[in-house]
Amino acid sequence: MAHEASAHVHEPKSFWTRYIFSQDHKVIAAQYILTSLLMGFLALVLSWLMRLQLGWPEEPIPILSKLFPGLYQDGILKPEAYLALITMHGTLMVFFFITAILLGGFGNLLIPLQVGARDMAFPFVNMLSYWVFLLSCVVILASFFVTGGAAAAGWTAYPPLSGVQKAVPGSGLGQDLWLVAMAIFIVSSVMGGLNYVTTALNMRTRGMSMGRLPLTVWALLITAILGLLAFPALFAGAVLLLLDRHLGTSFFVPYVVVGGQHIPHEGGNPLLWQHLFWFLGHPEVYIAILPAMGIVSEVISTNARKPIFGYRVMVLSICAIAFLSFIVWGHHMFISGMNPYLGTAFMVTTLLIAVPSAIKTFNWIATLWRGNLRFTPAMLFAIGFVSVFVTGGLTGIFLGNPPVDIQLTDTYFVVAHFHIVMGMGSVFGIFAGLYHWFPKLFGRMMNERLGRWHFWLTFVGVYGIFFPMHYLGFLNVPRRYYGFSGYEFIPPDAQTIQAIISVAALLVGAAQLIFLYNFLHSWIRGPKAPANPWQATTLEWQAPSPPPHGNWGPELPVVHRWAYDYAVPGAAEDYVPQTTPVEPAQIPQENGAGKPASEQNGV
Ligand code: HEM
Ligand SMILES: [Cu+2]
């Protein structure tokens, strides 16, 4: 193996090359995880500000004026600041937290370790990808501090609002920085994606056939391909929109009159942006959820002490979901005036996604069925994932139907739907992954008791926040509104519900502080982790915690079996690592171990 010989990379000696400009995938994973957690935390703080306003509108909170002078006046949120808050909260959560931590964080940590490689295929590009990501973080955060404040056209940045400089305060420099930051982010994610795909395909160690790959690697591989195909559409969109804004082109901006003046645009079509945006935007929700699904499969199988049910079908469902995700984007545009026949086509493709999704859910439940369950925090979050995935997925079936969507679009029903399924789904998957692989990454154990508190408060709180929003949606309470006074169709009890939601949001917020404490404290003080604390089978657990530079000793590991040999009859322990050779004599005929992975998937 060519890379085996060249693999004895010299361990970098200086602090700078070791921890800062490192090319080691584990250090880069840690950098991604820490940075994106910080971005997620900022996005969470923004959600508190929104929830305070929505729960108790016009209730002055003087300290907020001191903390955020740009957003508040006399302790009350400025109406235009609310739009900046939703925009930045959504953008930071979707891209800078979830996408970055799943692909940059878990992709970096798990792909090389789980395929038995010493590092990524292109370590330098990998390092570059992190630093470019960090630059995009700086640019997007800088937009809070410029004249007019941060972008305010929503995370979808629809023109003309995002195309016309003077539309709202945030449409100035703030919107420019948003577009530039997104473009930089996309450059970084393409560099990362090339690495993840190449490494998963080409750097697999001896014996690691595709049918033996852990489902996390499958999910990350397919997700990386999705990203490579989808992100460039938004990159193109962002560049064209910048041209519209600054060089007088009219790709997206039609004839618009602002303040009585016709601004110099003519003939652009805002719908073009919607197509470009959602051609990324819909796959993006699967970029956020597929890696979470991979993590959840891994965590459930390990902690149920059972082989994952239906391995091959799990892989096929990931591929099916990924493929379908490219031909459903029109469901975000049902009210754009599209031809009803086209709407029907998008409806059919959208509803088709329910099939592989339901198969996966069935398989997780079948894996849990009669398992020897260990309720570690990771396992709790993985089961929580299945719960929110079902709850949020069901409302997706409603919204996928144009007749229903036309009623509910732009209401809190939509806010409920996407937060539960892609917001909380991804977040639960992320927490499951963090609790599960923290010992491998940092070499220390996290506190399980705090982890369980974190889970239960989050789980209960999340339903407290997002479940009542369905009802608000039925009342037609619109999304992206700063306040609801004076709308006759909204009954007064809607405000009571808003306040309850806000209490739940603050509870969930507090629960995340428990996590933050646990994370930081365990990183410094946690008990030292053994190599394989969960008695898991995949390759990373055969390396020390944390693995040394180059991951493996002089020899690369050799893989002899698939990734889910739990509870193998006749085996000494209830798990058999992938590196353990198969001894035919000891294996009863009816047991699948040792057969090609494709034949032992439990179906
Ligand atoms: C407890 C956690 C969270 C709370 C309390 C929360 C709260 C909110 C609120 C109040 C809004 C604005 C609703 C409106 O006026 O239309 C919003 C919008 C949004 N949130 Fe969250 N959120 C949370 C977590 C997340 C997560 C994890 C994601 C990741 C996907 C996310 C993504 C979004 C997006 C994309 C929007 C839409 C922004 C827009 O309309 O342009 N949120 N959230
Ligand atoms: Cu969609």
Q: Which residues contact 87 (CB under 8 A, 6 or more apart)?
A: 150, 151, 152, 153, 154, 155, 157, 170, 178
d(CA 192, CA 104) in angstroms, rounded, equals 7
Residue 508 pLDDT > 80: yes
- Ligand 1 binding pocket includes 89 (Cβ within 6 Å): yes
Q: For ligand 1, pick from 47, 92, 286, 409 the residue to mutate: most ligand atoms within 8 Å of CB.
A: 47
How much of the chain, in percent, has pLDDT values that exceed 90? 87
Residue nearest to atom 4 of ligand 1 (CA): 47
How far, in Å, from the CA of 89 to the mean position of ligand 1? 6
Residue with tokens 């169709």: 489
The per-residue pLDDT for 486 is 87
The per-residue pLDDT for 95 is 98
Residue 592 pLDDT > 80: no
Which residues in 3-36 are b (16+ Cβ under 10 Å) and which e?
eeeebeeeebeeeeeeeeebbbbbbbbbbbbebb
How far, in Å, from the CA of 283 to the mean position of ligand 2? 7
How far, in Å, from the CA of 400 to the mean position of ligand 2? 9
How much of the chain, in percent, has pLDDT values that exceed 70? 95
- Ligand 1 binding pocket includes 417 (Cβ within 6 Å): no
Mean pLDDT, residues 310-326 taken together: 97
**Average pLDDT of the residues of the chain:** 93
**pLDDT bucket at 590, cuts 50 / 70 / 90:** very low
Mean pLDDT, residues 267-282 taken together: 96
**Signed CA dihedral, 259, 261, 262, 265: sign only:** negative
Residue range 561-571, pLDDT digits in tens: 999 999 999 88
The per-residue pLDDT for 256 is 84
First to last CA, the chain: 34
The per-residue pLDDT for 260 is 85
- Ligand 1 binding pocket includes 501 (Cβ within 6 Å): no
Residue with tokens 């630059």: 135
- Ligand 1 binding pocket includes 411 (Cβ within 6 Å): no
Q: For ligand 1, pick from 415, 419, 490 the residue to mutate: most ligand atoms within 8 Å of CB.
A: 419
How far, in Å, from the CA of 325 to the mean position of ligand 2? 8
Structure tokens at 546: 């944390």
The per-residue pLDDT for 238 is 98
The per-residue pLDDT for 596 is 47
d(CA 300, CA 472) in angstroms, rounded, equals 34
Residue range 186-227, pLDDT digits in tens: 999 999 999 999 999 999 999 999 999 999 999 999 999 999
Residue 394 pLDDT > 50: yes
- Ligand 1 binding pocket includes 508 (Cβ within 6 Å): yes
Looking at all shown ligands, the one closest to residue 151's CA atom is: 1
pTM reported for the whole predicted model: 0.94
Mean pLDDT, residues 9-13 taken together: 68
Residue range 150-172, pLDDT digits in tens: 999 999 999 999 999 888 888 99
The per-residue pLDDT for 244 is 95
**Residue 461 CA: which ligand 1 atom is closest?**
1
Mean pLDDT, residues 577-583 taken together: 92
